[in-house]
């Protein structure tokens, strides 16, 4: 058996795999050329395989494992979608850290921490002006679009902040503890009208691309907050910038953008009351450990013929 490692966990983890499974050939392939060469006789692939590499794979390839939670790049490969290759991911490994980051963005905006930090750097006390712009999240309504592992982790923290929480999800799921209700996509517009805070945690699919457009941004309460931490392309960025410039929204926080990395002249940089982070919400030592624990579990299952965990549906996009 041969497993190509397109996204490497580090020498220590690979060494542990080789020790536990001496009959399996684990082959790191960091470049496009190496991946094209090695995937020809591979049984499994760890990482976000490219379309060229997938098309070059031989009939032995049975498993592709994404080391991230999103599989939109894999779902964009028509040959993979039409194949019987099993796709898995590491959902659950990033949830806690991303939820913490979500509230970091929100509290930066509501407690004006970015303004306070600017004052500190300029040696300005500035207490009076900033105090007047501060607000609390307690008692406000958070609408979370996407109640997967990440959305649920956000919801738990929102409940801890004594917020009212409504979820919107394509699947009919029972509300998690403390969540008032989980509505279907047909009630998204209604939910937006109740949101003091909109948190977007849904995957990027054909259905969600551009979902939060100018019309739906206009449905949000005046002086509400918009947070997106799943994927760029879900929020209409020009419409968001316009709403921020017009003062329709109190603020927004984006850890993901339609174009990554952002160009130096991207208008998002200078949008008022917008906090940008460079798609890093899932980063932490704890997340890295969890991701490779989940990956190791699936390697073990694949090698021993057990059912794989976190099986995804490339047609659905998650």
Q: Which residues are catalytic?
A: 231, 260, 279
Give the C-alpha separation, 145 to 298, whole Å.
Answer: 28
Give the containing element (helix H, strand E) for 4.
Answer: strand 2-5
Helices (H), strands (E): how many in the chain? 13, 12
Give the C-alpha separation, 220 to 193, whole Å.
Answer: 5
Q: CA dist 256 to 110, 211, 217, 234, Å?
A: 20, 15, 17, 10
Give the C-alpha separation, 38 to 57, whole Å.
Answer: 8
Give CA angle at 48 (277, 256), nearest 5°.
15
Instruction: Tell me the sheet residues that pair with 44.
Output: 3, 63
């Amino acid at each position: 058996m041969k497993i190509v490692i397109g996204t490497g966990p580090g020498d220590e983890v690979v060494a542990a795999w080789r020790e536990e499974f001496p009959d399996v050939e684990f082959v790191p392939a960091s470049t496009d050329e190496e991946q094209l060469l090695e995937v020809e006789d591979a049984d499994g692939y760890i990482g976000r395989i490219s379309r060229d590499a997938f098309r070059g794979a031989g009939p032995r390839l049975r498993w592709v494992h994404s080391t991230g939670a999103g599989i939109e790049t894999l779902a964009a490969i028509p040959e993979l979608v039409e194949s019987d290759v099993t796709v898995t991911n590491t959902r659950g490994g990033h949830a806690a850290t991303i939820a913490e980051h979500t509230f970091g963005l929100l509290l930066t905006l509501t407690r004006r921490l970015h303004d306070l930090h600017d004052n500190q750097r300029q040696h300005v006390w500035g207490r009076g002006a900033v105090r007047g712009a501060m607000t609390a999240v307690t008692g406000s309504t958070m609408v979370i679009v996407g109640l997967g592992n990440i959305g649920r982790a956000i919801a738990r923290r929102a409940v801890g902040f004594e917020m009212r929480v409504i979820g919107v999800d394509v699947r009919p799921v029972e509300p998690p503890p403390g969540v008032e209700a989980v509505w279907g996509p047909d009630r998204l517009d209604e939910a937006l009208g109740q949101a003091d805070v909109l948190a977007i945690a849904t995957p990027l699919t054909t259905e969600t691309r551009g979902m939060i457009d100018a019309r739906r941004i206009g449905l949000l309460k005046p002086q509400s907050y918009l947070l997106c931490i799943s994927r760029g392309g879900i929020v209409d960025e020009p419409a968001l910038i316009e709403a921020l410039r017009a003062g329709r929204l109190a603020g927004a926080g984006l850890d993901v953008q339609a174009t990554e990395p952002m160009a130096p002249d991207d208008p998002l940089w200078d949008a008022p009351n917008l906090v940008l982070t460079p798609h890093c919400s899932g980063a932490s030592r704890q997340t890295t450990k969890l991701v490779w624990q989940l990956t190791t579990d699936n390697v073990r299952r694949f090698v021993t013929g057990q059912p794989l965990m976190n099986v995804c549906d490339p047609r659905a996009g998650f």
